[in-house]
Each structure stands twice: as structure tokens, then as C-alpha cells.
A and B are shown apart, each in its own frame.
Chain A
């Protein structure tokens, strides 16, 4: 057993015992849903339904329902896609990378973060399909399926195809990882439950028996999956960035994109984890498990990734000037001073300037400030993708084709649809699944709880 220095802050506060952990977390699953939960879920489902109107209108009438045009062929669709994929990066990073680095503080947040990852990837995956002119065909034509259309095959040169593989691999690995982690906890709930609930959770727990051998297998599967998932954390957004980096459009054609996108993804993912966790710990009274220490550590990750992103923005400008390519230089000047200057400066303010506030200990240990800044970061990251996609496209090589993009109600509606989807799923998860990994928290209880430290 690893020994934790007594100098370290405890990871679990409030003098929790094993029983306390089981009880505190299972009671959310076992009890009746609270009124607050109902209200929250209904709101999310309402947003989902509202957004569905826009989605149906788009599918029925055509992509013309959106504000796109001959010059700007992607806007909110791919912005939202990249944004959601980015958000979906934190979960795997926390559970896989931090597992490999033996960061114990991850245990109380990894479950929810992974759930968020999966839901965010589900939301992200909507857009590559919805944004197609003919999704009913594209949904399967974009896969390398054997077919009778002649010798038609997909184009392996296309970054969009790489996306298909990247996203689907990431999604399946994350899902399996998440579910494996859930099994011991489902078994715990099963053991406490009676009747139908016992049957359902029994089925979900795959006959977990808690034997030492089972635990051993569990540990090794987790480790293997963590090993598999770690390169994916880096590869997914790298490949998403190839959509832009391999193109010829000034502002897209940039070799810095892969690391810059990965940093941005972790940045926005952590912000989204914070947003959700701050609410969850409050609503479910889990302050002893998700402590200020957790929040502070995540804020530090945000400062680091935010700064990386900031340096990337500046580097892009430098390289545009240094390249001597006229269109490239114009693309960047136009970002900062052109008709979409407000989007650029929103991005700069939200992503580069505001996270620097976390250098102050007072701010990074303040729940309210963290919550607000986590929202700001997510807004900023949405603008980052908007800036990259729209302001690069709207004024590229030939001035005759320069145009503006204005979103329509359907653009907004489809975005809302994914919000509704995300939160509906998250609330269902929060109610029916254990939001904190009981088994793993118990494993650190002995070494890192307040009791031990004291």
C-alpha cells in the first residue's frame, strides 16, 4: 500500500468511514428523486424538445434553414461539434491519464467526468451527421462498409473520415472504461436493494462477486483500458484539428493546430467538469468527497492549459506575419480587427485573460469564482472554434466571395437540442447511477482521508 505523506491535504474530509461512503453515494440512487431534480430534468427535457423542432425543420427542409452560404459552409454546426468533442476530453484525461500518474484525487471526480465525456461525445457526434446535406445516406456512406454500389469505398485521404474513426474509437473506449468502473458500484447498490431494483442493478453489475480474483481482474482491465485511452486523449482532438490543418484555407492551414486543439480541449473539458461538479456536490451534498482541494487542482490545470492556448494564439499571429503569405496575414488581422472582431476578443478575454485570475489562491479556492470562470472558459472555447471556422472562411482568398454569416433560429435551436440532450442524459445519470466511484474512493480512504491524516 502506498503511503501518503501527512503533509498532503486529505482527499476525503468529514471523517468518512467505508459505510459513510456507501451510504452517502447510494442514497441518491435509492431515494425518491427530489423536486429539484424533477425541475432540472424537466427543464433539460424541455430544451431538448424545443431544440428538436429546429432539428426536424433542418432535416425536413434542408441545411438552408441555417445561416450558411456559398462562402461559409460550416459555422455553428462544426463549431458545436468541436466544442462538444473538446468538452469530452476531460473525463478520459482524469480517469486514464491521472490513473497512470497515480493521482488519487481523481477518484471522487472521475465517474462524473467520464459520464460527461460520454454525453458530450454523443452530442458532438450529432453534428457530423446533422450537418450533412443528405444525412440519411451519409450516416452510413461515410463508413467503410462493403456495399453493392459498385466498388465504392470511402476516401481515406479525407480528414472527415479520420474523424469518423477517431470519434467512434474514443467513444467506445470511453464507454467501456466508464462501464467497467461502474460495475463494483452497481454491485454495491444491488446488495443494498430489494425487488425490481435488485434485479436491474444485478443485471447491470454483471454478477460481480467482490472476490479478490474479481478485483484483480478489475484492476488489470482498468489499467489496460487506461493505457488504451491515454493516446486517444491526444489523438482525438489532434485528428479533429486535421479537418482544418490539412486544408488550404488561410487561418486553417496551420501546423500548430494539433497541440493547440488538445490543450484547448482539456481546458474546456476541465471547465465543464467544474461547472457540473460544483452543482452536483452542492445538490447531492458531496462536499466531503469533492473538496476545495479538488477544485483547486482542476483550476491549476485550467491555468496551465489556458496559458498554452494563449501562447498558441500568439504563435499563430507570429507565424502568419513570419510566413509572408498575404492571405494568411490578412486572415489574422481580419480576425482581430475585421467584422468579427467581437468574437475574437471574446475568445481572447475568456480563454487567455480570465483564467489568469486563478493565479490568486483566493480566487482558485472560491467556489463562486470557479463556477463563474468555468462558464466563461466554456463560452470562450466556443468562440475559439467560431473564430477559427467562420472568420477564416468568410474572407479567404478571393475578395469577390467574401461574405458574412448570420445564424438563424434553426442554428440556435440545433445547438439547444444538444444542450437538452446533454443535460437530460446527465440528470438521468446523476439520479440512477452512483455519481462518485465508491469503490475507488474507498481505496483512498485508508491512505488519504481526513481520519488518516489526522
Chain B
């Protein structure tokens, strides 16, 4: 282009260089006096002029909101279309916790994580932690670059120092949680090659070493098998929370739910026995739950073994007599379902696990529900080796230690010793992404990318692979840990190439595709998962049960009088790695409904004996002493807690996680003991509990525990009754009108809506809802729901649009209203997801004075935030209490900046869903049935000139649900899944759908608000007379 040499003048004055012009050339308003003192004789009029100008300017500026310009792309990136989301297959993995995911990105920002439906493991499903992990990408606590001795540094210096130090360090140890990635393992070995080999020491905060060790003893191989809960007709679990936290909960929950789906055509379901001390989420779902002391748990397993053995004609083992309800019943059912049953135990004691193996062998489950041909890699931790290593570290025998994304100072029972030992190592490096309890103690921190910024591969199960790919450029000056390993090992290759090469030589060769590697790679990346068609050899017992059984008989007692502490993991917080995520902190625990805390769960009888009463959120604190270590924790009275036992959750009491998690709860890892060669979560001796005088408030989203016998809310039946009558347990209110009793829906003030196009509905199966809360976090992410913090939860103002009501049964008679408020000692539990019911005769719509909440032509109850003036009349008049009011301004408000990080700092805001408004203070909000998704789906269909297909539009809660308990769809479409489930009579555009499914009911049917959400009765697989 020709250079432009033209001159443009502002005016003739400039051309003529008028002296007056030159004098004022740099000023925008030359007429105005610029400075009062400049000429020394500023007049009163000048002053007034200026004052007037400033006043006018200031008021004008105040009138206008600042203009924030959206800058369009000059050259639009190929893949990024504004407002159109892109989806990338990737993988979530934190230690051995795994899920194949699909990441939704908008304008280059990951904003939502869903499960990858192609995955044979999590099958398109996720849990709360996976859902929430997208927020940790935008966590300001993440390190912005490498650190040396606590000072900021750069990668060049770090690499030089690490290389030179490692070269002279002697032994190099890499400490890690389970690594699922074969290429990562290889990269570490590659690095080791440069320094004479490294040893990888693996531990898991939530250890399952007991199973590995037991299988080594009993089967000769230290592997964990695949468990097929879907093939089990009888399931017995000794304290294994397999739906919530045990090994691969998403997978197990999905498989388990398959056995709990019930219909008239298939009136069969699995029977689930749970023997446990704490009330776990899994126990809450069991048909028969027996609270047992942790000190008896081994004996309970032996008793079951003996019961099965005597049926099988095998030798019994000698065991102290112990009275445990339901053991014989369980044995009968197991024996009846031989080969299609499953016994699991959450114990980390290898001897107990050997007995469990023996039971499963007697039942012939190995090969059917237990599959050693596809072992899983979720838990590779070796407690014994880790124990030994800590000794070495403390003894100063370790030259160099590299912590690969693990935090043993916090999450290992001997964390304090690790902290002490780190200083004794010549070189200490961590790749952790934040300055946590461990990385703050090491010399060099080389922070890893967040998983959403990384390349990686995974082999969660033998022969099953998945990939993760970056969905955003690194936000900070971090570097993928594997790249660091390769660099330190002197390799010039980057990890991406390394990964590809590794796949070309290994996975590619295992999967017969017959094409080019590039083609294979693209497909693998596109799908995110790939399975090699290979299995390993089945395992048969090589060991013997008798030695283990006698050990168990010795170690467990039938009559332990002392207090027992059973340390457990919460579904939301897990092992504490993601504790700094406010979505998880505010997610109510599935059982206790508590947020922002851990606490000592105590039995009701203990509470009565010790004078502890919980009124609403108020409770007392207790001092818990375990072998000399003391903690002060609040008390939570937990129905179903075994007498004499106490529960305490891991994952809290972080000190260096960040401002969300620091100081929340207490660290229970300190109380675990590792001396027996495995990390022991059941502490049965040396525990003392003393109630202190301090009072405390636990923030719970639900403080009333029972459903007060209200059949219009909870409708349930036993399987035996259901088989006889498909509408067993249904409560069918009838109202007297004109000489006869009619259904409430036959009487209405309203003419009723007609939905000529779609009629959206939701069917919720209370039989398959396990209460895990994945839906609640999914909704929070999808709909930009604010986090309000502990104090506001205490004020009963949490903002969740979907909640899971958890009800305990009560022993009291139906007319004993005070008695009904008390849960049974070992209650039956019902979970009921509750969100806006999108009523056809919506009580909220009629009362709004300004018509801010109205009915859509598709059956939705719409909320117009702009129009809302906040009278809260709608919320008062909502019989389901699902409307949420913005009591304060939750976004851009320093009072909430510490908890509501997704709406307060610039980085956190990147996670917001741009399709959903962030609500201002003073307006009402509620579940919209993901109207933005409905709209997007309809637009796509319209653009493609076709009808919306069933399944194309789905609400966030239903997408996340690991058990498919929620089914969303168009009730006007007779072929949609929801219509099929509800058995809706065809060709009706009326709002009032006649539903033929006997189990389906409306909560509060008698008031005929006519919801578009249907619930299916809860069926328990119990004998008829036990209902």
C-alpha cells in the first residue's frame, strides 16, 4: 500500500498557525478556563462556569452506565462462532477418580462438563465433583507460574535447577496418587532414565489397598476387578459406599440403578443389604440396612461366610458369636441368587477382603458379577510402600522427591511426618497447581495445567482408553507436568508428540482399525474414548480363607464397649482435593443435608444419653480424642448411626486450599492410622468423645427430617405389594362433587391450557434416585445459580433451583404429630428431587401483581426477571417452596466474593453460562426447565426444517443424573421417552394429560395445581409384612 503523506488540518487556524490556536491546540474545550490559578485572576464567574460544567458533567456521567464494548473478531477463528457452543471429548481424572466427559465451551471458555456417552465406564454420566471441576479451572488460587523457594520464578530457571539438583540428588522418588495415564507413567520413567531410575510411590487418600492386597493373597494378583452391579440380583455391602464414594461410584450407580428400574412388565428388582456404621448414601438406598459397629464388621463378614459355607457344604471357620440382624436373610437371598449376586466391603483390612473374596467364590460370582478379566486401575495406591517411604523421608534417606499432583501433607494419615521429612530431602519438587499444604513446603513448584488445559491419556480399565485434550489455552504460566518430566529427563519431545507416539506404538496396535494412525487418532480424540478388544486372564483362588478368617476373628470383637470412630468420605467433597470449590462446599450432603462443614455424626440414643438435642441448626460441640490426638467438632444427630459409633468426614480442615475451603471443618486424616500396613478408616479403640459446653450452628438446607406420614408427598410400597397391585402405595385423593367422588383434576376454576406444539414434562423415578446430588451441581453450573455461603444457608436462603428432599421414616403413629417429627432409630430413607413443578394451574402465576411469572404455550411456568418487583407473593404461594429470592446482590458484591466466586471475580465469571441471566438483587428465580436449552433445541430443529426429536433437548439435571432417574421430554409426542414412561394417552394437546402408569403421581395432587413433573412411587424390595 502506498504510504499516505497527506496532512489533514483541523481547520484554517491550524493551516495558518494562528497564535491563539497554537496556544490552545492541546485542549478540547479552548473556551473554558483550564486552570483557575493559571492566570491568577480567576473571576467568580469563571468559578461558577467551571463548577457548573463539572456538575453537569458529573450528573451526565452518572446518568449513563459505562459502555462496555464487545470487540468483534477481525479474523474469526475457524471453530468459534459467537453464541454457538463447541463440545470437546475429554477426560476428568483426579488420582483414580475418573470420568470420560464432554466439555462444552462457549467463545473458547469451558463452561460445562457432561458425561461422555460413548464411555463404557461412566456411560455419559457424571457426579457432583466432575460437574463442579470446571470451576476449579478459573480458581484464582491456582499458581500463575513456577515458584522457587516460595518466590516467583521462570521455567528456564526451574528447569536448570531441577536438572542439576536431580543429577546430584541420588535416589529420585515420585510420590503420586493413582496414575491412570499410561503415557504419564512412561514419561516419568523416561525422566528417571536420566537420573538412574525413579521409583514411583503411589498412595490414595481414600485407600482401597485392602482389596489389592487381599487379591494378591487370595488370587495371586494385586488387582481390583470390575464389579457388575447390573448383573446382581442380591447385593450385600459391608460399609462400601459404592453409590457415593467407593472406587468407581458413577459406574456403579448407573449399573445399580438398572437393577432398580421396575415396571409392570418387569416387576423385578435387586435386593440390597447394607451393613454399616455410618448412614451412607448407599445404605440409605438399601432395602435392608443393618447398623453395625465397626468392631463387629469383620465378624459380620465371617458370619455371612459361615452361613453361605454351610449352604455350599464348604468348611466353616471359627468365629466369635455375634448377633447381627439380617445376616441369615442375606445369606438365603445370596444363595438363591448364586452367580448373580455380589458381596462387597468397604473395609481396607486385607483379611476382611479375603473373606469377602471367599464368599463371592462360594457364590460363584467370580466371572459373573466380579470380572477379573477386565481389572480396573482406579486404585493403585500401596499403603505399605507409602508407609515405608515416609520412614525413609523422615530418616533423610531420600535424595529427591517429586510430588506429582498429590498432597500427602494434608491427605495422608502421617501427613505431619511427610511435612517434617520434606525438609530433609535434598531436592523437593511439586507439580501441584496450587500452593497447597504440600507444595508450600517444597523447594520448587512446577505447576501443572488444569485438566481442561492438558493433553493426556487414561487407561481406567484394562483395555479401555480415553483421552483428554485442551479446551482452552493455558490461563496461567503453567506447564503440563508431563512436559516438565520430559524436559527434566532431557527429552526434546513435547508431551503431545510423546503421547501420540506412545499411542501409535501401543493403543493403535491393539485396536484393529486397519487405517492410518492419523485417522485413528482423530477418531479417538473425537470420541474421547476407545476400547481395545482385549481381556486378561480370569483369576482363580490360589490362597486360602482360613488364615485370613482367623486373623479377622482375632482382630474384631463382638462386644466392644468403647466409642468407635468410622471415618468416611462425603459425596460432595470427596478426599478434599476439590474442597476449594464453593459449588461442592454448598452442595448439601445427600444424607445430612449439611453444607460447609464436617461434623461428628452420633446416634440418636447417644444424643439422648448425653443430653444433646439438635433444634433446627443449633447443636453442641464435642471433643474427640483418638490416641492422643484431639479435635473439636460439632455434633450432628444422625438417625441410623450404629450405637456406639461415630462418623467423621474427610476432606475438610484444609489450611492452604484457598479462601473458600481454608478453615472449613476439621481435618480427619490426622486421626486415621496407618500402622497396620494399611490405612485404617475404622478406629475402634482409644477413642474418647466428650461433649463440650460450646454451641454451634450447622448449616443444613433441610432441618425437618421426616415426611410426617404425608402420603400426598411420599408414596411408597414394597415389591411384594407392587407385584400384586401396580398402584400399591399410591395415595389417590378424591373430592366430593355433585353426588360423587372425583379426582381433584376434574374440578378446576380454570378452563385449562391447550399446548398445540410441545408440552414439556419431567418424570422422576424415586426408585432409582439415589440422592447423589449430581443434578443439583449440574443445575448450579448450567443456570448460574449463586453460592451464598454458610451464613446465608443458616439463614435458610440457599439459592438451589433443584434440591433433593431426604426423608426419614418415623415409628410414630399417624396421629402422633410430635412423634412423627422424630426419625426412627434406623429409618427407611426416601429421596425426592424437588424443583419447580411447572404447574398448569400455577398458584404463583395468579398472584404476581405485575405478571412477571406467566405460563408459556409449552406448559412451562416462566419467570421474567426484568419484570419482577420482588413481592415474594409467588414464593409464599408455592406449595413446593421451590422459588428462590435474591435477598442480596450476590454478584459483584464483596460480601459474597469469598464464596460466590463464579459471579464475583473476572476469572470466576468466565464459567458463567452466557445463555442464562445472572439475576439482580430483589428478584425471584426458580427452575426454568433449562428454557435456554429448549430454545436452542427448537431453533436448531427449525433451522434444519424438521421437528424436534426426542432426546435432542434435555435438562441439565437429567443429563447429569447417573441413574437416569429424571426423564425429560415432550408429553405431546406419544413416542417420547417421557410419554412412554408415563403411558400418556395419545393425541391430546390438553394440559391435563391422562397418565396410565400406575406408579406415577403428582406431589400434592389434592390441590390440583396440576404439575408437569411426575413422580414414580418408591418401591422397596422387602417382604410384604415388613412394610
> Residues on A close to B: CB < 8 A?
61-64, 67-71, 73-74, 128, 131-135, 137-138, 141-142, 152-155, 157-161, 164, 243, 246-249, 325-327, 330, 333-334, 337, 393, 395-404
Q: What separation, in Å, do the CA atoms of A132 and B888 have in the docked complex?
A: 12
Which residues in chain B, 914-961, are within 8 Å of chain A measured between CB atoms?
920-924
Q: What separation, in Å, do the CA atoms of A98 and B832 have in the docked complex?
A: 58
Q: What separation, in Å, do the CA atoms of A247 and B1007 have in the docked complex?
A: 11
In the complex where A326-B710, A398-B881, A399-B713 touch, is A247 in contact with B704 (Cβ < 8 A)?
no
Which of A71, A325, A333, A399 has most B Cβ within 10 Å? A399
Q: What residues of B have a CB within 8 angstroms of the CB of A135 in the complex?
A: 869
Contact call B888/A138, Cβ cutoff below 8 A: no
B834 interface contact, C-beta 8 A:
yes
How far in angstroms is the closest Cβ of chain B from A424? 28
Q: What residues of B have a CB within 8 angstroms of the CB of A67 in the complex?
A: 795
In the complex where A133-B870, A249-B877, A398-B879 touch, is A158 in contact with B846 (Cβ < 8 A)?
yes
Which A-chain residue is minimally distant from B889 (CB atoms)?
Answer: A62
List, sorted by A's number, 9 A–B pairs whose CB atoms are closer than 8 Å: A63-B872, A71-B881, A74-B876, A134-B920, A135-B869, A396-B879, A398-B881, A400-B803, A402-B704
How far in angstroms is the closest Cβ of chain B from A445? 49
Which B-chain residue is minimally distant from A247 (CB atoms)?
Answer: B877
Q: Mark B103-143, 1 if CB is under 8 A from A, else 0.
A: 00000000000000000000000000000000000000000
Contact call A134/B922, Cβ cutoff below 8 A: yes
**One of B616, B884, B922 near A132 (C-beta < 8 A):** B922
Contact call B849/A399, Cβ cutoff below 8 A: no
Contact call A63/B870, Cβ cutoff below 8 A: yes
Chain A residues touching B, majority SS: loop
Q: What separation, in Å, do the CA atoms of A325 and B733 have in the docked complex?
A: 10
B743 interface contact, C-beta 8 A:
no
Q: What separation, in Å, do the CA atoms of A294 and B144 have in the docked complex?
A: 82
B542 interface contact, C-beta 8 A:
no
**One of B616, B843, B872 near A74 (C-beta < 8 A):** B872
B885 interface contact, C-beta 8 A:
yes
Chain B residues touching A, majority SS: loop
**One of A134, A334, A337, A401 near B868 (C-beta < 8 A):** A134
Q: What separation, in Å, do the CA atoms of A337 and B816 have in the docked complex?
A: 13
How far in angstroms is the closest Cβ of chain B from A391? 13
B603 interface contact, C-beta 8 A:
no
Which residues in chain B, 836-873, are within 8 Å of chain A measured between CB atoms?
843, 846-851, 867-873
Which residues in chain B, 693-728, are within 8 Å of chain A measured between CB atoms?
702-704, 706-708, 710, 712-713
Contact call A70/B885, Cβ cutoff below 8 A: yes
Q: What residues of A have a CB within 8 angstroms of the CB of B806 in the complex?
A: 400
Q: What residues of B have a CB within 8 angstroms of the CB of A64 in the complex?
A: 792, 795, 797, 887-888
How far in angstroms is the closest Cβ of chain A from B824? 15
Q: What residues of B have a CB within 8 angstroms of the CB of A154 in the complex?
A: 849-851
**One of A61, A161, A403 near B888 (C-beta < 8 A):** A61
B457 interface contact, C-beta 8 A:
no
How far in angstroms is the closest Cβ of chain B from A437? 38
B886 interface contact, C-beta 8 A:
yes
In the complex where A63-B922, A64-B887, A403-B796 touch, is A132 in contact with B870 (Cβ < 8 A)?
yes
Q: Mark B727-758, 1 if CB is under 8 A from A, else 0.
A: 00000000000000000000000000000000
How far in angstroms is the closest Cβ of chain B from A49? 25
Q: What residues of A have a CB within 8 angstroms of the CB of B167 in the complex?
A: none
How many contacts A-B (CB < 8 Å)?
175
Q: What residues of A have a CB within 8 angstroms of the CB of B843 in the complex?
A: 247-248
Given contact pairs A62-B888, A74-B872, a sample of 10 additional A-B residue pairs in the complex whose CB atoms are under 8 Å apart = A63-B870, A68-B872, A132-B870, A138-B850, A158-B846, A160-B849, A248-B1009, A249-B877, A398-B834, A399-B708
Contact call A399/B707, Cβ cutoff below 8 A: yes
Q: What separation, in Å, do the CA atoms of A61 and B846 have in the docked complex?
A: 29
Which of B616, B706, B922 has most A Cβ within 10 Å? B922
Q: What separation, in Å, do the CA atoms of A71 and B1003 have in the docked complex?
A: 18
Contact call A158/B847, Cβ cutoff below 8 A: yes
Q: What separation, in Å, do the CA atoms of A396 and B798 have in the docked complex?
A: 19
Contact call A158/B848, Cβ cutoff below 8 A: yes
Contact call A153/B923, Cβ cutoff below 8 A: no
**One of A132, A248, A398 near B871 (C-beta < 8 A):** A132
Contact call A134/B869, Cβ cutoff below 8 A: yes
How far in angstroms is the closest Cβ of chain A from B989? 24
Which B-chain residue is minimally distant from A397 (CB atoms)?
Answer: B879
Q: What separation, in Å, do the CA atoms of A402 and B879 have in the docked complex?
A: 12
Which A-chain residue is minimally distant from B895 (CB atoms)?
Answer: A61
Q: What residues of B have a CB within 8 angstroms of the CB of A138 in the complex?
A: 850, 869-871
Contact call B795/A69, Cβ cutoff below 8 A: yes
In the complex where A396-B881, A400-B702 touch, is A141 in contact with B869 (Cβ < 8 A)?
yes
Q: What separation, in Å, do the CA atoms of A68 and B797 have in the docked complex?
A: 8
**One of A133, A248, A403 near B1007 (C-beta < 8 A):** A248
In the complex where A71-B881, A398-B879 touch, is A155 in contact with B850 (Cβ < 8 A)?
yes
> Residues on B close to A: CB < 8 A?
616, 702-704, 706-708, 710, 712-713, 792, 795-798, 803, 805-807, 817-818, 832, 834, 843, 846-851, 867-873, 875-877, 879-881, 883-889, 920-924, 1003-1004, 1006-1007, 1009
Contact call B817/A160, Cβ cutoff below 8 A: no
Which B-chain residue is minimally distant from A64 (CB atoms)?
Answer: B887
Q: What separation, in Å, do the CA atoms of A69 and B888 have in the docked complex?
A: 12
Contact call B708/A330, Cβ cutoff below 8 A: yes
Contact call A398/B796, Cβ cutoff below 8 A: no
Contact call B849/A161, Cβ cutoff below 8 A: yes
How far in angstroms is the closest Cβ of chain B from A202? 40
**One of B702, B869, B880 near A397 (C-beta < 8 A):** B880
**One of B703, B798, B924 near A133 (C-beta < 8 A):** B924
Contact call A157/B795, Cβ cutoff below 8 A: no
Contact call B922/A397, Cβ cutoff below 8 A: no
Q: What separation, in Å, do the CA atoms of A247 and B874 have in the docked complex?
A: 10
Contact call A153/B872, Cβ cutoff below 8 A: no
In the complex where A133-B924, A155-B851, A400-B807 touch, is A70 in contact with B876 (Cβ < 8 A)?
no
The 5 closest A-B CB pairs, nearest first, are: A133-B870, A133-B922, A138-B869, A64-B887, A69-B796
Which A-chain residue is minimally distant from B843 (CB atoms)?
Answer: A248
Q: What separation, in Å, do the CA atoms of A248 and B713 have in the docked complex?
A: 16
Q: What residues of B have a CB within 8 angstroms of the CB of A400 in the complex?
A: 702, 704, 707, 803, 805-807, 832, 834
Which A-chain residue is minimally distant from B1009 (CB atoms)?
Answer: A248
Q: What residues of B have a CB within 8 angstroms of the CB of A69 in the complex?
A: 795-797
In the complex where A73-B876, A400-B704 touch, is A133 in contact with B710 (Cβ < 8 A)?
no
Contact call B887/A330, Cβ cutoff below 8 A: no
Q: What residues of B have a CB within 8 angstroms of the CB of A133 in the complex?
A: 868-872, 885-886, 921-924
Q: What residues of B have a CB within 8 angstroms of the CB of A393 in the complex?
A: 876
Q: What residues of A have a CB within 8 angstroms of the CB of B846 in the complex?
A: 155, 157-158, 246
In the complex where A142-B849, A400-B834 touch, is A63 in contact with B887 (Cβ < 8 A)?
yes
Which B-chain residue is minimally distant from A63 (CB atoms)?
Answer: B887
Which A-chain residue is minimally distant from B821 (CB atoms)?
Answer: A399
Q: What residues of B have a CB within 8 angstroms of the CB of A337 in the complex?
A: 818
Which of B796, B847, B876, B877 has most A Cβ within 10 Å? B876
Which A-chain residue is minimally distant from B616 (CB atoms)?
Answer: A404
How far in angstroms is the closest Cβ of chain B from A143? 10
Q: What residues of A have a CB within 8 angstroms of the CB of B710 in the complex?
A: 326-327, 397, 399
Contact call B888/A73, Cβ cutoff below 8 A: no
Contact call B849/A134, Cβ cutoff below 8 A: no
**One of A157, A160, A325 near B1006 (C-beta < 8 A):** A325
How far in angstroms is the closest Cβ of chain B from A190? 44
Q: What separation, in Å, do the CA atoms of A249 and B792 have in the docked complex?
A: 25
How far in angstroms is the closest Cβ of chain B from A26? 46
Q: What residues of A have a CB within 8 angstroms of the CB of B920 in the complex?
A: 134
Q: What separation, in Å, do the CA atoms of A163 and B499 have in the docked complex?
A: 70
Q: What separation, in Å, do the CA atoms of A134 and B1006 have in the docked complex?
A: 35
Contact call A73/B885, Cβ cutoff below 8 A: yes
Q: What residues of B have a CB within 8 angstroms of the CB of A68 in the complex?
A: 872, 885, 887
How far in angstroms is the closest Cβ of chain B from A307? 30
Q: What residues of A have a CB within 8 angstroms of the CB of B797 in the complex?
A: 64, 69-70
Contact call A142/B1007, Cβ cutoff below 8 A: no
